[in-house]
Amino acid sequence: MKIDRRSFLSLGVGAGAGIALSPLPWKLTDDSSIWTQMWPWTPVPRDGAVNYVNTASTICSGGCGLSVRKIDDRAVKVEGLKGYPGSNGNACIHCMAGIQMLYSPNAVKSPMKRTGKRGEGKWQPISWDEAISETAKKLGELRESGKASTLACILNSDYGTIPALFKQFLNAFGSPNFMRTPSYQDAYEMTLALMHQTDSMAVFDAENADFVLSFGSGIIDGWGSSVRMFKANSSWKEKNVKLVQIEPRLSNTAAKSDQWLPVNPGTELILALGIAHVIITESLYNKDFVEKYAEGFEDWTDNEGNKQKGFKNFVLEGYSPSYAARVTGIEANTIVKLAKDFAGASAPLALCGRGQGTTPGSIHEFMAVHALNALVGNINKKGGIWAMPKPDYIKWEQAKLDDTAREGLKVPRADGAGTEKFPHAKYLLTRLPEVINSAKESPIQALFVSGANPAYTLPDTKAVAKAFASIPFIVSFTSHMDETAEMADIILPNHGHFERYEDIPAPPGYNKPVVGLARPVISPQHNTRHVGDTLIAIAGKLGGTIAESFPWKSYEECLEKTMGENWTSIQESGVITNPDYEAPGWDTAFETSSKKFAFIPGNHNPGNNSLQIPVIEGNDNYRLTLIPYDSMRLAAGPVGNTPFVTKTVSEKVLKGNDICIEINPKTAEKYGLKQGQYAILTTPKGKAKVKTELSPGIMPDIIAMPRGLGHTGIDEYLAGKGININELIGPVEDPASGLDAAWGIKADLVKA
Amino acid sequence: MSKAQEHNKAKKYGMVIDLDKCTGCGACMVACMAENNVPFKKDESDKLLSITWMKVYKLTNGKDFPDADICYLPRPCQHCEGQHSGHSPCVSVCPATATDYSTDTGIVSQIYTRCFGCRYCMAACPYHARHFNWWDPVWPAGMEKMLSPDVSVRMRGIVEKCSFCFHRYQRAKDKAYMEDRRELEEHEYQTACTQACPAGAIIFGDLNNPDHEVHKIAQPDPGHHGRPKNPNAFRLLERLGTNPKVYYLSSREWVRKAGDNYLKTEKINKH
């Protein structure tokens, strides 16, 4: 047969139609998709028995109760533990992604000793015996040369057995320098110490409040116990509880509030007093509380016969709504209405501690906000603020002291806390870098860091690095290579957060006593050791009274004996709590000499009734003000973001490695800046290249930068991304308390 | 069993997300990633290339300071039913039947081993709920230990999306069968995001079951392809007729309006 054009074409069409109608092409595409997916490098997760281990979180500050799903011996998923106080069935974003930390390739795999220069990143793995001997030797030398008091410990908490072990160690060793990283809890504890004369924690019956006035507290941005506050916020929505948010930026909390009041930052204190003015002049305050259970409201004559001005006249003379309006930028009639709404509610609650509360803030601001709660009589009441005793289940014998220890403990604290200048402060870690940098020889010669990452979280990173450089011996107990570990001489790695026992007391702000139990979910993945065991081993090596102060063979024994008869129940339920706890009534709540609440504390008349308002750093040559902001999707504390969490960060916050700065469109226009442009941000502390993000949700002339970026350590999914705001901002010493009261810094932004 | 009876028994799993309660914390996104072995790269800031079965969008009301407002909107796959059963935008274009509509559960499936990566479905999906694997997923050394055996790991060249945690449905069903039951309780089958949401903003259940919360809140109108009767409820791009099974609640009108392409002068269509 002759093949002509016509038959060739019809044959082709026929073959085409035949193939198309046959199952062949579909079979081939199906096969090709199957065969192209059989790559040997695609992991096939091993199947196994499903089981759950209940534990409490050590990685978030909110204290989430967790239920970890395991497949045989692998931890695969974190879920919330039902019935756990506060977080009840849920977990925060960081705990949910916590398994990525557990299995991170960046975990410290064995004890390590620095070989290169400080911060160079050259390490040599050493044995535990070697690491402990070397640490003990260095510490022994300090004691022999009479410098016992120069050992300091930095931790992120001072509740629970781990901080207690460090305190025990310092006492036996002879140093007063235990330090907790700063937070709003410092300011609240001091407020209660002054106005109640009690050593207690400020906790909140948030679920039962029916009007919430928040002075910048990021209620749904990670303030307090984050999951618990989310739940409280949802319950407010259901019950139509009004939330008023006072802050210069439209945070998530502000957006979800019923009323957002953008306030000139730093003037919140004046606003609180303006509100108090209205409550007093309109006679809306709780007379029962103010007259029977409080002192210092009316003018009084002190023991020496001097006239003292009471809170009432102090407020009435100086802080009228019109004055407050001028200073804060909030209209006077808005202040009057707000005050009436607040005082008119049956359980109004005023809160403070900006953002997630990582900066303590002005003590007078805290006292003014607390005075608002006092005026409406919502202290130790349903829906109010409670002063709750600190956890007291640790009842060990006191550390045994030898002569060296006794001498060392007489030396004043290096950070100035508890000294004549700052009598009410317990810890002033933010003062320490300056103290070290201005001294000829560092008053801290050896430093232990556990559960904290001061090289990243403390303001003025450069000054912190300089101070650390002059500390001859730094030991980190981290389980991950963080910024502080990078500056250490020896790393004694703790077990990971799902590999160890630890008691987790007092979720911040939770108004019932709680001790949660973190327990091993999986066996240790690396050659790590429990920090408690390490400390006991170092004490043993030092011998003498130090060893005698640690009568336990292991941390587990210590924890078991500490919990005593509760050990079985805490192991079974994962938590000990007392849901029926109620705060003491007004007649027994206050420990002042008159047993009354002190509007103006007798022994701490704040500068003869004059307010001290912390002024931020920088002069008028800077045209803008930079404020930090907090987000649930960025961990700004000692633990950095895991890859999953960083994945949730918006491209309007982090784009590539560039950090975006929020600026009001009008301000941007004024200074010739456009959306998404590179700009140079300058502050008195430093300079950084940033990207502009135009946002109508921020006050003009204020720019905002997120906390939690700019890590150099942690892992390659986080390091090098964005800027750490602590490089651009320094601490501002609150003149009345010594605490860090910086809420921002003067800044300038010009096109790059 | 007659066809009518079968139809009565069919489930229509769906979601109601309360945007007044959603805090934008992102816990749902992470819960989803951990539950479904979703991969991650070193840089995830190019969101067009970032695989997020559940993605939380940030809406803005477009107003100037101080009237500016924001609202977060979590977006899983909307599991569209279309105008007649199973006529979802993605299902109707898939040449490989790699994605299908289950009339038993109302869930739009994705069968990875059938997908050959033509991405028609991605073009068809009006919600950007589908994601393409441009690269093979890489877990850093040691981290593959966290992979769940319930969900297969995907590889480059295929499309993936939210499955309403279908493996959880299978597990719950298995358990029920073991206990000689045929019906699931409402709490027995919940997606990972629903379980994770700390604000309690996500509710999941059977839209066909009048006892389930989702039905009570959304009040789907069977005469109008499930359009919600609750005046605060809306669905995304309602007017496209995709008949999605994810409902949103908001007390703010500008948020409800942001759910569809309304003209500036247009009022929201009242039922």
Mean pLDDT of B237-251: 95
Instruction: Write the pLDDT tens digit of every residue in A38-89.
Output: 777 788 899 999 999 999 999 988 889 999 999 999 999 999 999 999 999 9
Asked if residues B78 and B236 have their Cβ atoms less than 8 Å apart, the reply is yes
Contacts of B114 in chain A (CB under 8 A): 30, 33
Give me the sheet containing A502-505, strands edge to edge.
A502-505, A514-518, A575-577
Per-residue pLDDT, A609: 52
- pLDDT value at residue A491: 97
Of the pLDDT bands very low, low, confident and very high (cuts 50, 70, 90), residue B5 is very low
**Picking from A562-571, B82-91, B259-268, which range would have the lowest pLDDT averaged per residue?**
B259-268
- The pLDDT tens digits for B189-200 are 999 999 999 999
Instruction: Give the whole-angstrom CA distance, residue A370 versus residue A349.
Output: 9
CA distance A214 to chain B (A): 16
For position A603, what pLDDT does the model report? 55
Q: Which residue has the higher pLDDT, A152 or A2?
A: A152
Interchain proximity B149–A100, CB inside 8 Å = no
User: What's the mean pLDDT in B83-92?
Assistant: 90
Identify the pLDDT of residue A41.
Answer: 79
Return all residues near A15 (Cβ < 8 A) that are at least 6 apart.
Answer: none
Asked if A511 and A203 count as a contact pair (C-beta separation under 8 A), the reply is yes
Q: Is residue B19's pLDDT more than 90? A: yes
| pLDDT, position A31 | 78
- Residue bearing the bigger pLDDT, A26 or B167: B167
In 3D, which of B8, B2, B1 has the Cα closest to residue B209?
B8
Q: What is the pLDDT at residue A24?
A: 83
Q: Which of B145, B160, B174, B187 to mutate to test the interface with A (most CBs of A within 10 A)?
A: B145
Residue of A nearest to B138 (CA): A42
Mean pLDDT of the region A261-288: 96
How far is the CA of B89 from the CAs of A255, A435, A543, B125, in angstroms?
34, 66, 75, 6
Contact flag A103-B142 (C-beta cutoff 8 Å): yes
Residue A321 has pLDDT above 50, yes or no: yes
Predicted local confidence at residue A607, as pLDDT: 46
Residue A34 has pLDDT above 80, yes or no: no
CB-based contact, B30 to chain A, within 8 Å = yes
| pLDDT over 90, % of chain B | 85
Positions of E strands within A156-264: 177-180, 200-204, 211-214, 242-246, 259-261
In angstroms, rounded to a whole number, what is the distance separating the alpha carbons of residues A28 and B40? 31
Q: For chain A, give the mean pLDDT.
A: 94
| B32 pLDDT above the threshold of 60 | yes
Q: Which residues of B touch A696 (CB under 8 A)?
A: 60, 63-65, 68
Q: Would you state the structure tokens that stand for residue B153, as one six-digit string?
A: 């790991």
Residue A344 pLDDT > 80:
yes
Phi, psi for residue A515 in degrees, rounded to 5: -130, 115
The answer to whether A30 contacts B44, with C-beta atoms less than 8 Å apart, is: no
Report pLDDT digits (tens) over A469-525: 999 999 999 999 999 999 999 999 999 999 999 999 989 999 999 999 999 999 999
Please give the pLDDT value at position B9.
Answer: 75
Note the helical H segments in A250-306: 252-256, 268-281, 287
Residue A604's pLDDT is what? Answer: 52
Q: For Cα atoms A10, A14, A18, give the angle at the middle one, nearest 5 degrees.
A: 175
- Tell me, what's the pLDDT at A271? 97
Residue B40 at interface with chain A, using a CB cutoff of 8 Å = yes
pLDDT for res B269: 60
| Residue B3: pLDDT over 80 | no
Give pLDDT tens digits for A559-618.
999 999 999 999 999 999 999 999 999 999 999 999 999 999 875 554 445 777 888 998
Alpha-carbon dihedral of residues A616, A619, A620, A623, nearest 10 degrees?
A: -70
Task: Establish whether this prediction's ipTM goes over 0.90.
Answer: yes
The answer to whether B112 faces chain A, any CB pair under 8 Å, is yes
Q: What is the pLDDT of residues A139-153, one digit of tens each?
A: 999 999 999 999 999
- All residues of chain B having their beta carbon less than 8 Å from the beta carbon of residue A664 are 65
Residues in B closer than 8 angstroms to A32, CB to CB, are 116
Residue type at position A105: P
* B153 vs A43, A97, A233: nearest CB: A43
pLDDT digits (tens, 9 = 90+) for A218-242: 999 999 999 999 999 999 999 999 9
Give the model confidence (pLDDT) of A635-685 as tens digits: 999 999 999 999 999 999 999 999 999 999 999 999 999 999 999 999 999
Binned at pLDDT 50, 70 and 90, residue A1 comes out as low
Q: pLDDT of A117-171, one tens digit each? A: 988 889 999 999 999 999 999 999 999 999 999 999 999 999 999 999 999 999 9
Q: How far away is chain B from the Cα of A466, in angstroms, using its nearest Cα?
A: 31
What average pLDDT score do residues B142-148 get? 94
Task: Kindly list the residues from chain A whose CB atom is less than 8 angstroms away from the CB atom of residue B203.
Answer: none
